[in-house]
Chains A and B, each alone.
Chain A
């Protein structure tokens, strides 16, 4: 038994996509301009029968299919999301029941805008390090809502990833983690309201960039690493531009971030965003490769992780569940009218 790390992982992305061009056309905007400014071409859309619970269950089942562990050995489930189907009543219990992990189980739902999933990983790490549980299941998933016509509508997407954390059969060791947190109201959704609001350009330098840069720098300082020590880097992806910009500011190269940069093809899956990026990297990573992961959640905070892929990944049965790129390529385009129906924008009783 070595270091705490990732024992298995699974992803899920709903099948439907809407093109940024279609959303732009609906609101009388120029699609080319928006695609260029956001670096996003299309986004995933959940069906009427999909929500954060169903996405979490699918991702968790994919992780379990690869892990080959008894689900009863999972001692804790934390689901991070800002679109839990219930305001009161946990998503985690639905997941626990659907994967057969109940009833000897700790469960809580997390919310920290787009970084609740990485917060869930940190909680699982701590419980494992203290010996309280053998395995923990951390999930980041969302069916992000955006007000019709709002800038967020071009990117607010649906998807999620699940990580089984433990010390047994680790395919990627977590060498360290560091969080940088302040009270910064750049994006929020008030209790009882359907759509989030945001501070416009304030979401940039004082929010996204400040937190990701500080968390990443502090982590590298703690670990004694430099950007070139990492084979891959994944940053939270609210659009296609920010992660590229922040990578550049921190001294990372395009080659390091391209495998985990999914936002251009599926949009911002909020709590699923950086974790889907990590899953995509694990889909291709080789033993000994090193991954830097930094999430960002508005409000605001960033969790940064230093991860090393182990030899166990060679015999890890990835084929027992779809890879992230397979999920991205499994798609069905819908127009804005169907999107409006699926996203509950149309009014009917």
Chain B
């Protein structure tokens, strides 16, 4: 995606950094990415879509390990990508990190983390956003 203006990425910062979705105040459905209009309430929802921060916790619905990546992700392969269903019921597509790729399972509990997603080469801007990692039981050892 070379040659793109940074504005395209900058405008998505609230959603990419903090999983800010929208909630239709008519039917209370939650959407991510944000929607201008609720597909169920349509005109009734105009002006009634309210921003809502998602918890960032969810479960893996399905996943894959990518071995043939797009050019910008070449150094990272193999890496895992999943559709994650968040607690609020919405689904997002994201990488799964900090985890043994063999251990990933459908139904696995994951939480959002903040990572570099891609950049515009050595001289370009860096784009950050959410990835997910397994929810771990922290063990105290000394």
- On A, residues with C-beta under 8 Å from B are 15, 47-51, 53-54, 57-58, 61, 85-86, 94, 97-98, 100, 322-323, 325-326, 329-330, 332, 341, 348
Contact = CB atoms under 8 A, between A and B. Distances in A.
B139 A94 contact: no
A268 B142 CA distance: 19
Nearest to A95: B114
Interface residues of B, number: 26
B142 A325 contact: yes
Contacts of A325: 140-142
Contacts of A332: 98, 100
A329 B139 contact: yes
Contact of B138 (A58, A98, A323): A323
Contacts of A97: 13-14, 17-18
Interface string B7-45: 000000110011000000000000000000000000000
Given A323-B138, A325-B142, A326-B138, A98 B18 contact: yes
Contacts of B141: 325, 329
B22 to A, nearest CB: 17
10 contacts: A47-B97, A50-B115, A50-B116, A51-B126, A97-B13, A323-B140, A326-B139, A330-B136, A332-B100, A348-B74
B138 A330 contact: yes
Contact of B17 (A15, A50, A98, A322): A98
A53 B142 contact: no
B139 A98 contact: no
A329 B116 contact: no
B61 interface: no
Contacts of B13: 97
B30 to A, nearest CB: 18
A325 B140 CA distance: 7
B138 A100 contact: no
B128 interface: yes
Interface string B42-80: 000000000001000000000000000000001110000
Interface in B111-131: 113-117, 126, 128, 131
B135 to A, nearest CB: 11
